[in-house]
Amino acid sequence: MFIATNRLFVPAERAEEFEAHFRDNMRTYLPGVPGLLRSTLLKPTKDDQPYVSVNEFETEEHFRDWVASDSFREAHKRNRGIARHVTGNAVETFEHAEDLVLPRQRVEQ
For the chain, what is the domain count? 1
Considering the domain boundaries, does residue 44 fall inside one?
yes
Residue 103 has pLDDT above 70, yes or no: yes
Considering the domain boundaries, does residue 38 fall inside one?
yes
Considering the domain boundaries, does residue 11 fall inside one?
yes
Residue 26 has pLDDT above 70, yes or no: yes
Whole domain around residue 43: which residue ranges?
A: 1-51
**Non-local CB neighbours of 33 within 8 Å, separated by 6+ positions:** 62, 66, 69, 71
Cβ atoms of residues 22 and 82 within 8 Å = yes
* 9 three-class SS: strand
Considering the domain boundaries, does residue 75 fall inside one?
no
Closest CA to 18 of 90, 83, 78: 83
Considering the domain boundaries, does residue 42 fall inside one?
yes
Considering the domain boundaries, does residue 105 fall inside one?
no
| Predicted model pTM | 0.81
Considering the domain boundaries, does residue 109 fall inside one?
no
pLDDT tens-digit profile of 33-74?
A: 999 999 999 999 998 899 999 999 999 999 999 999 988 888
Considering the domain boundaries, does residue 59 fall inside one?
no
Residue-level pLDDT at 86: 73
